[in-house]
Amino acid sequence: MTPREALHTYFGYDDFRPLQSEIIDSVLAGRDTLALMPTGGGKSICFQVPTLVKGNADPEKRLCLVITPLIALMRDQVANLQARGIHAAAIYTGMSYDKQRVALDNCLYGPYHFLYCSPERLESEEFKKRLADLPIGLIAVDEAHCISEWGYDFRPSYLNIAAIRALLPDVPVLALTATATPETIDDIQAKLGFAEPNVLRKSFHRENLIYVVRRTDKKEEQVAHILSRVPGSAIVYVRNRKHAQELAEWLRVTGYGLRVDYYHAGLTTKERNERQEAWTRGDTRVIVATNAFGMGIDKPDVRLVIHYDLPSHLESYYQEAGRAGRDGKTAYAVLLYNETEDKAKLRKRAVDTYPPKEFVEQVYHKTMDFLQVGAGSGLGHRFALHIDQLCHVMKLPVIQTYSALHILTQAGYIEFEEEHETQPRVQIHVPRHQLGEYNLSFEQAELLDILMRSYTGIYTELQYVREADKDETHQLLVSLAQRGIITYIPRSIGCSLTMTNERQTEIYLSPAIFEERQERFISKLQAMLEYADQTQFCREQVLLSYFGEKNAVPCGHCDVCRELARITLQPM
């Protein structure tokens, strides 16, 4: 089977998009490959097609290990592949041990071609042992910029991928990302242990996307005005949750008749899924969201993306703006800019994101005291961490504390997960033959019977259970827990902290690394500010130059190009 035959047979397409064929040929040749493709460029085809081609030719190399940080994306891609008759599995936080074991057994013994997992999963020694036995022919690393300390979204868990390469020495890697500067490109290849440099890139030029910077000191009114002038589906990005909710409510009552909702990481998974699905269907026209919204969405007809606040870097701005116009039709990316206020906010953001080293050390020790972790202890322990409570008890500023915990994660002392959602868990304590002594209701007895049949380890340890999602089931579990029959930990959303080292009496933050990261962050803020501030050069040219495309021509339709053309055409 050729790549084009696989594309047609499994996905119904007659031909590849630009660059897809070259990437697939590189992967099939066994070369480590870094593919740079803009948002919506069809990245998944680049590992799905070669896996199917290779798997049909050699069953011992039929499986692709896909590493991605997005559980929603895993589920969507697995569902889409299964709908096409392609066997795929995913392992993610919240799955029971039994379900994980079944998924790995299916990949080992069944006709499976894809196994999705998060980079955090690669820390498990048991998981790594199982991987070594699987018929893996390709490792696909999505959002590959996360492995680079030069990137805008560095995640220490991505460094675990290098250890997987040692377990699978003859398996090539396909690294995929939508945004990377030249220094990030070099770092990705180094961190992933490429045998030789091999970068395939598609120009970041988007012919149909019109970039606009709108200067205004009345941003709410500008959002409403722009939405009234540009029909179709829209995203409005804001910096924080409170503002997402407030702006959505304001837009509902301005009289424009907008079907609008808000989205942020503080919502439950159910709420986030329902709001995203309503927007995808078109029931909701406008979604006001933090940057938690967007990664992995597949909606081609977005006509407008508005940034209410300046992002911290051009990488995220380009990626978020690029969610408009994936269908190739005209779309707009509008950045609202209040020079005085936005410059002040960016200066404060630099201070908040990189507080002094002494403050970071203080946060470490105060957090350990708050969690009651003694010196030399705690290794491997995981804690639910309520930041507001920590900051109140220990008298710490909230925003800088978040930043300090992320810095401590990058330094390797802890692993801090922001807005981690804990699935409901249950453990049964009363043996089946003794349940008759408890005068259970019919509903309670029936629920316990379902739990015992569905979760084989529920007597020995807490098990993740899906049944608790329903309100009536939740109430039954609460009543059983009150009687001591079970332990029930309901679903919750909050932060978590895992001790990756024993508590240290002193911590060391390398001045070079700390200051380098701080300077790099400030330089990215400055590049974002210069993009918004300047009115001399084509918007797209500025973006493309930032990503290493130095010979781009003016787009002709951004706000700067149109203004320059208007001035040129004016009579002398």
Domain ranges of the chain: 3-201, 209-337, 347-422+495-520, 425-490
* Overall average pLDDT of the 197-220 stretch: 94
Q: How far is CA 541 from CA 55, 181, 211, in A?
A: 42, 15, 11
User: Across the chain, what does the average pLDDT equal?
Assistant: 89
CATH fourth-level superfamily of 3-201: P-loop containing nucleotide triphosphate hydrolases (3.40.50.300)
C-alpha gyration radius of the chain = 25
CA distance 202 to 206: 11
In terms of pTM, does the model score above 0.85? no
Phi, psi (degrees; rounded to nearest 5) at 151: -80, 175
DSSP β-ladder status, 302-307 and 233-237: parallel
pLDDT given at position 485: 94
Fold for the domain defined by 347-422+495-520:
Arc Repressor Mutant, subunit A (1.10.10)
* Overall average pLDDT of the 107-124 stretch: 90
> Amino acid letter at 348?
K
Q: 129-174 pLDDT, tens per residue?
A: 899 899 999 999 998 998 987 766 777 788 889 888 888 988 999 9
8 Å CB contact between 65 and 113: no
- Residue 156 is classified by DSSP as G
Q: Please, which residues have CB within 8 angstroms of residue 30's CB and are 6 or more apart in sequence? A: 172
- 19-33, 252-266, 272-286, 407-421: segment of lowest average pLDDT: 407-421
> To the nearest whole percent, how much of the chain has pLDDT over 90?
56
Please give the angle made by the CA atoms of 215, 221 and 226, to the nearest 5 degrees: 75
Confidence of residue 199 (pLDDT cuts 50, 70, 90): very high
pLDDT given at position 493: 63
Domain 209-337 has CATH 3.40.50.300: yes
Q: How far is CA 304 from CA 285, 322, 338, in A?
A: 11, 10, 20
Structure tokens at 46: 């680049």
Structure tokens at 171: 């398996």
8 Å CB contact between 153 and 66: no
Q: 320-356 pLDDT, tens per residue?
A: 999 999 899 999 999 999 999 999 999 999 889 989 9
Q: 341-399 pLDDT, tens per residue?
A: 999 999 999 889 989 999 999 999 999 999 999 999 998 787 888 888 999 999 999 99
CA distance 138 to 145: 19
| SS3 label, residue 484 | coil
